[in-house]
Structure 1
Amino acid sequence: MREANTVADGLAKAGVMIPTTGFSEVAELVGITMIGFEGNIETKILSPKTTYVAYLVFKFAECRYEFRGHGWMETEMGEFYNEKEEDGVVNCCVWEIDNWFSKHSLIVEGIEFRPKQSS
C-alpha cells in the first residue's frame, strides 16, 4: 500500500490528469501559503537489506524564472534502510513552517521511493 497526502491552507485542484506521469492522478495546488507532504509505504513490498530514498516529484504549471527545467523535478526528502521483509510502514514528510508567501501553479505528482544508487 502506498499513500500520499498533501496538506495546504489554500485551494487544491485534485485529480488533474496529466498523461506523462507515473501516477494516475496528480494535484495542482492553487493559491496556498503553507504546505506539507506526507507519504507512507509498507516495508513488505520493498527489497530487504536495501537503502531507499524518498523523492517529492513536482513541476510548475507555468514557467518559473528561478527554475531552468520545464518538466518534472524532484527533491530528496530523506533515506532509510529496509532491513527485513516484515510488516511495517515507513512514513516520510516534509513541511514548510516559516514561509507565508503565496504559492501557485504547483503540480505535485507524488512521492517516489527508489533504491539508493551506489556512487
Structure 2
Amino acid sequence: MLAPRNLAITWGDTPPYWTWISRPDSRFPEVAKLLVVCWFEITGRIDCCNLSPMTRYNAFLVYKLVARAIGFQNKPIEATVRIGGTQVSKRIVYVIDSGDVVQNGEQYPKVRGDGWFEVGLGEFFNGGELEELEIYIFSFDGHSVGGLYVQGIDIRPC
C-alpha cells in the first residue's frame, strides 16, 4: 500500500484544508484527514519494477469517513491509472454508496476486513517494463467536500 505521506495530496500540508493525525486502526503512523476543500486531488506514484511483472493489478483508495462528512453524497470522482504516461484505465468512483444501479463501470465502496472502506480506482497490467505507475484521483465542481481519512492507495493482484 502507498502510505498517505507518499501521496501527492493537493493542499495536503495546508492546515485549513487537511491535517495529519494518528489513528490506532491504521497500519501507518499518520493518516491524512480532509477537513474541507473544493479541489479534491490525490496522486500516487510507484515504479513498476516494485511490482511483480506479468501480473494484473487493481488499485484501491483506502479511506474512512467521519460521521458528518460533507459533499461526497452522489459526488463523482474521476480515477485515472497511467503507466509510463499512457492512460490504461479511467473510471468514475464514489466514496459513499448511494444505492444507485451501477452504470458505465462506476465503482462504489466496499468495507474491508480491517474496517476501512475501499473503492476500486482502476485495473492495469504490469508487463515488467521500467516505467512509472501513476494513480490520479480528482474532483472539482466548485462544491466543498470534507470529512475523509485517507489511509493510502492499495495496489494488489486481481
Query: TM-score over 0.5 for the alignment?
Result: yes
User: Are 1:72 and 2:72 an aligned pair?
Assistant: no
Q: Which residue of 2 aligns with 1:115?
A: 157
Q: Which residue of 1 aligns with 2:127?
A: 83
The amino acid across from 1:46 in the alignment is L
Q: Structure 1 residues 96 and 115, CA, compared in 2 at 3 Å: closer, same or farther?
A: same
1: CA distance, partners of 2:8 / 2:62? 13
Q: Which residue of 2 aligns with 1:35?
A: 40
Q: Which residue of 2 aligns with 1:12?
A: 18
Asked if 1 retains the 8 angstrom alpha-carbon contact of 2:38 and 2:140, the reply is: no
Gaps of 5+ in 1: none
1: CA distance, partners of 2:27 / 2:46? 16
Q: TM-score, normalised by structure 1?
A: 0.78
Distance apart, 1:36 and its partner CA:
0.9
Aligned residues: 110
Distance apart, 1:104 and its partner CA:
1.9
Gaps of 5+ in 2: 74-95, 98-110
* Sequence identity (%): 30
